[in-house]
């Protein structure tokens, strides 16, 4: 168990999230019955997790589909509220949705793109400049630095839907970093990429995070994908936090568990 630190950017205490849905059996009679009475079904996606994350850490959130990774990251970013427990990010609840808080964070989901596919990426970047109120000189310097580092300057005037998957993810990463956030959430950012593209994207993220002294939470199905880039691993299973340790110790522990099965 990790001790609490005064440098903690994120503090999570006994947090759970339960979703409410409705069950409907097949058939016309069931449909008619549902008009008057619906059977409620509850799904506990996250179950009593607690942890702290310090400023500047790069932390992997690892687990299979349905482990609770995305739900956890959405609660930390303020997209959804926890059912129970308390979350503070930068000393405040992320669910308050203050503009100043939003400018300090950024969220990129690998399978949900924010750039308009029918427009060049440059148009979306200009929109980001207005949304985050980035001063024009700062915006130009930041955009020039990111596009040159990721080697996509020559692609800025091409429709996003015409880019390769790797190029598109680089553009999405630029959009997420344009306003110089302090906290970056990356939910499966390399899903669907080939091995070489995955390595290139991850190396870029690692460099940019170190350059900007970012705190990063990065989710994946496999701890092996992130072992070279993250210093710590939060391993989730069935909505519970089953392991919180140094990345290499966590990897060794999971390998031992796999060998005993």
pLDDT at residue 259 greater than cutoff 50 = no
The per-residue pLDDT for 186 is 93
The per-residue pLDDT for 6 is 56
Rounded-to-integer distance, Cα 13 and Cα 245, Å? 17
Q: What is the rounded average pLDDT of the residues 134-149?
A: 96
Rounded-to-integer distance, Cα 38 and Cα 22, Å? 6
Indicate the average pLDDT of the chain: 88
For residue 164, give Cα distances in angstroms to 19, 53, 168, 221: 36, 34, 6, 23
pLDDT in tens, 171-211: 999 999 999 999 999 998 888 788 888 888 889 999 999 99
pLDDT in tens, 47-98: 999 999 999 999 999 998 889 999 999 999 999 999 999 999 999 999 887 7
User: Looking at domain 8-14+52-260, which of 3.40.50.300, 3.50.50.60, 1.10.132.20, 3.90.70.10 is its CATH number?
Assistant: 3.40.50.300
The per-residue pLDDT for 67 is 93
Q: Delimit the domains of the chain by residue range.
A: 8-14+52-260
pTM score of the predicted model: 0.85
Q: How many other CB atoms sit within 10 Å of the CB of residue 235? A: 22
User: Cβ(69)–Cβ(219) under 8 Å?
Assistant: yes
Of the pLDDT bands very low, low, confident and very high (cuts 50, 70, 90), residue 256 is low
Q: What is the rounded average pLDDT of the residues 128-139?
A: 95
Of 98, 92, 97, 45, nearest to 72 by C-alpha is: 45
């Amino acid at each position: 168990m990790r001790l609490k630190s005064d440098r903690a950017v994120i503090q999570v205490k006994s947090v759970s999230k339960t979703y409410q849905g409705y069950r409907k059996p097949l058939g016309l009679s069931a449909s008619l019955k549902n008009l008057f009475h619906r059977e409620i079904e509850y799904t506990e996606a996250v179950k009593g997790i607690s942890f702290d994350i310090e400023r500047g850490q790069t932390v992997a959130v690892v687990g299979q589909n349905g482990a609770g990774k995305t739900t956890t990251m959405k609660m930390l970013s303020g997209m959804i509220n926890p059912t129970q427990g308390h979350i503070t990010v930068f000393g405040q609840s992320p669910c308050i949705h203050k503009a100043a808080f939003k400018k300090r964070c950024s969220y990129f989901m690998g399978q949900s793109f924010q750039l308009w596919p029918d427009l060049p990426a440059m148009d979306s970047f200009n929109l980001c400049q207005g949304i985050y109120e980035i001063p024009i000189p700062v915006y130009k310097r930041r955009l020039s630095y990111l596009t040159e580092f990721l080697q996509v300057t020559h692609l800025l005037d091409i429709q996003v839907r015409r880019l390769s998957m790797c190029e598109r993810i680089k553009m999405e990463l630029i959009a997420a970093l344009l306003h110089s956030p302090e906290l970056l959430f990356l939910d499966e950012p390399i899903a669907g990429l080939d091995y070489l593209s995955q390595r290139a994207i991850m190396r870029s993220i690692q460099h940019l995070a170190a350059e900007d002294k970012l705190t990063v939470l990065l989710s994946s199905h496999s701890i092996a994908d992130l072992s070279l880039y993250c210093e710590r691993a939060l391993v989730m299973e069935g909505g519970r936090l089953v392991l919180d340790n140094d990345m290499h110790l966590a990897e060794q522990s999971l390998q031992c568990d796999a060998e005993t099965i």
